[in-house]
Structure formats: structure tokens, C-alpha cells
């Protein structure tokens, strides 16, 4: 069955379709939205081999003209160089302002395609067809687009909403286990920040979803998208409430930046570690009980996710990690912003985290003596 959720953003509102076999229905779902029956599919080399032909056939069945651009797979694609390449390839196809881009892939493809759509011809429509768990539950919803720089993750980008999101849960069955787990970290985030009953459901049923149970997978994606759609509808441009979605991301992004955005540490893995560190900081501040911190850590670890930087490598430069934190988008007036928890399901924004607190947290975590 297909579920439909609505992201309410006035004239920028759109629907999220979630269900099995939606790639085969892509033409029917998209046809009413298109300004003209012409699209350019942007995907990567890995996804192209798995899903591109299915989408092309679905478009052919609805007489929607299409071409494609295939980019390299991996986080390094979110770069100035690949953005320029993408824009040049798109322009070579002579698009006009009635052309629609389709982002077919994971978060990297969604982010760079959305960014390209927001600046190409001063803005054309695009649609998200996310094929990874992380993209389906997080990056495809909410209109954040962008690329990485040597100073940090997603520091160049725009808020630009898609016309629709089509999440085919069957694509999750083709994911490597590590990629599925990386997306699961973002799922756990929703339960931890403001939905305790969902966190309890994950404790009881998350392993079924990760094992490929289709009913559990669909419920997990639906609940995550509901949570994000509600927050985005209230705070599109992250002026307040939406910042809660960055739980675990400040130090998580710092870890990614330090490792150069490669395959050594996937984004979701960095978020898992970042959430544990944010909970540890919450305990150190007296905001959160030790039991809640250990409960979340235990669940992430049982799922197979890393919970410490030392799970990734044994030596880290704490000062360098802190410098990466100061490049975070949420840093304000030279201060650090963290999302901290008072308990599982209740978090808040704190803009007074000091360098000394981070130094102490990292000294303990990294076993610096």
C-alpha cells in the first residue's frame, strides 16, 4: 500500500509518497506535477545499475521525455568540481524553466541535484526519488540542498523544496547492510529528540525492519517522515524548532570533516557517534540521567552502529575536532550550539556550550591523558 504525507509550506507544499513498487509508478505520480513532459534524471553509477531503467520505463509508459546524467558515487560528489560538472552537463541538454530534474539516489545525489535545480536558470523544479534509508527518512524531505567544502559539511547550499518525494521502500532491500544502518541512525534520532513511543517501538521492532521486514520498514519510514514533515512545516529555514533535527550532527560533522568525507565514516555513522556524545555532554551538564544515555548507546550498538570515535580509529586530534565544530552552520557569535537531551524524547537547543566543556568531553571520550 502507498502512504501519502503532506509537507505544509503554503505555495511550496508537496506530498511524500511511501510504499512498495513506486519506481514502477513514477511516471503516473509525476505526470500531474510536470510543467511539460520532459525531465532530466540525475543519479550515480551505483544506483544507475540498480534502478535507472525501471524509472525510465515508467516515464516512457507515460510519454514523458527523459535524459540522464550519471555522477560518481560517494560523498566526494558533493563538491564544487562535481557541481560544476553537473551544471555543465545539464546545460548541454538545453533545459528550459519548464524542465524538471529528478534526483534518483541517496542523500548525496539529492543534495547536489536540489542545489543545481535551485540555481539553474535561476530555479527549476525538481523531484526527489530517494533510494537509501537515510535519504528517505531525512535528506529528501525539507528542502535542504548543498555541497561540502574543506571547511565543513553542507556549508554551501540553499533551502529549495522539491515538488514531490517518492520513497519506494523496495529500494531499501538492495542496500548494503552498512548503508541501511547508516540511515537507521537518523531514524533513532527522531525517537530520541521528541518521540519517546517511537523510540520504544524501535527497541522492540527496529531489528525486524533492519532484517528486511517490509511492514516494519514502511512504518519506520512513514513515522520518520511524519516527524520531519511536521517540524519543517513549522520552521522551514531552521530559525528555531528545526534545529532539533541536528541532534548529534555538530560533533558528527566534525568527525566527517576530519576524515575527509570518505567511506571511512558514513554520515549516519557519524550521527550515531554524535548523538552518543551529545547525550554524554547532557549527562555531564546534569540535564539527563545516565540511564537514558546508556539506553540510547546500547540500542545503537546492538543495531551495529559505532558509538565512539575510537570505533573508527584510535588516534584523534581533539583540538582539530573542536575547530571543525566552530565551522558548524549553527555556530553563533563565536559560540557553539548543541542539541542536548533532558531525557529520551525531549531535547532542546543550547547555545552556551564552551570550548572547555568540549575539551573535557573529548578528553574523556578519546582517552586523552
CA 120 to chain centre: 23
What domains sit in the chain, N to C, each tagged with a CATH number?
3-174 (3.40.50.1970), 177-365 (1.20.1090.10)
Is-catalytic flag, 63? no
Point out the catalytic residue in the list 56, 78, 226, 267: 267
Q: What is the pLDDT of residue 31?
A: 98
Is-catalytic flag, 6? no
Is-catalytic flag, 317? no
Is-catalytic flag, 249? yes
Q: What is the pLDDT of residue 329?
A: 73
Q: What is the pLDDT of residue 369?
A: 42
Point out the catalytic residue in the list 51, 56, 148, 186: 186
| Residue 286: count of CB within 10 angstroms of its CB | 8
**Assessment of whether the complete model's pTM goes beyond 0.85:** yes
Point out the catalytic residue in the list 253, 280, 324, 329: 253
Q: Which of 255, 241, 254 is nearest to 339 (CA)?
A: 241
Point out the catalytic residue in the list 194, 226, 246, 297: 246
Buried b (16+ CB within 10 A) or exposed e, 175-207: beeebbbbbbbbbbbbbbbbbeebbebbbeebe
Is-catalytic flag, 238? yes
pLDDT in tens, the chain (369 residues): 899 999 999 999 999 999 999 999 999 999 999 999 999 999 999 999 999 999 999 999 999 999 999 999 999 999 999 999 999 999 999 999 999 999 999 999 999 999 999 999 999 999 999 999 999 999 999 999 999 998 889 999 999 999 999 999 999 999 999 999 999 999 999 999 999 999 999 999 999 999 999 999 999 999 999 999 999 999 999 988 999 999 999 999 999 999 999 899 999 999 999 999 999 999 999 999 999 999 999 999 999 999 999 999 999 999 999 999 998 877 766 778 999 999 999 999 999 999 999 999 999 999 864
* CA pair distance 300, 296, nearest whole angstrom: 6
Point out the catalytic residue in the list 222, 223, 236, 238: 238
Is-catalytic flag, 350? no
Point out the catalytic residue in the list 11, 63, 122, 204: 122
CA 363 to chain centre: 29
Is-catalytic flag, 285? no
Is-catalytic flag, 253? yes
In this structure, what are the phi and psi dihedrals at residue 365, rounded to the nearest 5 degrees? -65, -40
- Alpha carbon of 179 to those of 189, 197, 205, 226, 305: distances in Å? 16, 25, 19, 22, 11
Amino acid at each position: 500500500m502507498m502512504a501519502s504525507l503532506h509537507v505544509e509550506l503554503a505555495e511550496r507544499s508537496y506530498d511524500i509518497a511511501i510504499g512498495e513498487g513506486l519506481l514502477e509508478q513514477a511516471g503516473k505520480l509525476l505526470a500531474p506535477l510536470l510543467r511539460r513532459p520532459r525531465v532530466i534524471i540525475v543519479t550515480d553509477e551505483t544506483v544507475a545499475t540498480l534502478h535507472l531503467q525501471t524509472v525510465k520505463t515508467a516515464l516512457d509508459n507515460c510519454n514523458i521525455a527523459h535524459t540522464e546524467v550519471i555522477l560518481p558515487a560517494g560523498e566526494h560528489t558533493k563538491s564544487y568540481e562535481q557541481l560544476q560538472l553537473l551544471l555543465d552537463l545539464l546545460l548541454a541538454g538545453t533545459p528550459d524553466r519548464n524542465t524538471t530534474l529528478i534526483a534518483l539516489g541517496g542523500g548525496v545525489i539529492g543534495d547536489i541535484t536540489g542545489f543545481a535545480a535551485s540555481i539553474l536558470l535561476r530555479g527549476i523544479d525538481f523531484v526527489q526519488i530517494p533510494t537509501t534509508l537515510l535519504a528517505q527518512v531525512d535528506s529528501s524531505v525539507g528542502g535542504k540542498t548543498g555541497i561540502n567544502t574543506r571547511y565543513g559539511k553542507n556549508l554551501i547550499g540553499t533551502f529549495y523544496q522539491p515538488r514531490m518525494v517518492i520513497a519506494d521502500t523496495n529500494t531499501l532491500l538492495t542496500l548494503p547492510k552498512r548503508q541501511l544502518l547508516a540511515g537507521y541512525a537518523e531514524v533513532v534520532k527522531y525517537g530520541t529528540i521528541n518521540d519517546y513511543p517511537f523510540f520504544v517501538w524501535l527497541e522492540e521492532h527496529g531489528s525486524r525492519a533492519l532484517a528486511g521486514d517490509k511492514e516494519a520498514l514502511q512504518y519506520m519510514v512513514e513515522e520518520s517522515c511524519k516527524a520531519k514533515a511536521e517540524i519543517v512545516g513549522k520552521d522551514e529555514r531552521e530559525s528555531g524548532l528545526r534545529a532539533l533535527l541536528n541532534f548529534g550532527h555538530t560533533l558528527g560533522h566534525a568527525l566527517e570533516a576530519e576524515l575527509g568525507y570518505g567511506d571511512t565514516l558514513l554520515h549516519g555513522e557519524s550521527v550515531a557517534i554524535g548523538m552518543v556524545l551529545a547525550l554524554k555532554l547532557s549527562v555531564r551538564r546534569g540535564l539527563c540521567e545516565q540511564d537514558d544515555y546508556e539506553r540510547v548507546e546500547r540500542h545503537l550498538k546492538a543495531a551495529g552502529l559505532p558509538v565512539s570515535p575510537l570505533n573508527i580509529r584510535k588516534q584523534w586530534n581533539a583540538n582539530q575536532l573542536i575547530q571543525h565544530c566552530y565551522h558548524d552552520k549553527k555556530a553563533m557569535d563565536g559560540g557553539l550550539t548543541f542539541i542536548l537531551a533532558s531525557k529520551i524524547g525531549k531535547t532542546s537547543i543550547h547555545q552556551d556550550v564552551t570550548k572547555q566543556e568540549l575539551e573535557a568531553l573529548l578528553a574523556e571520550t578519546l582517552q586523552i591523558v
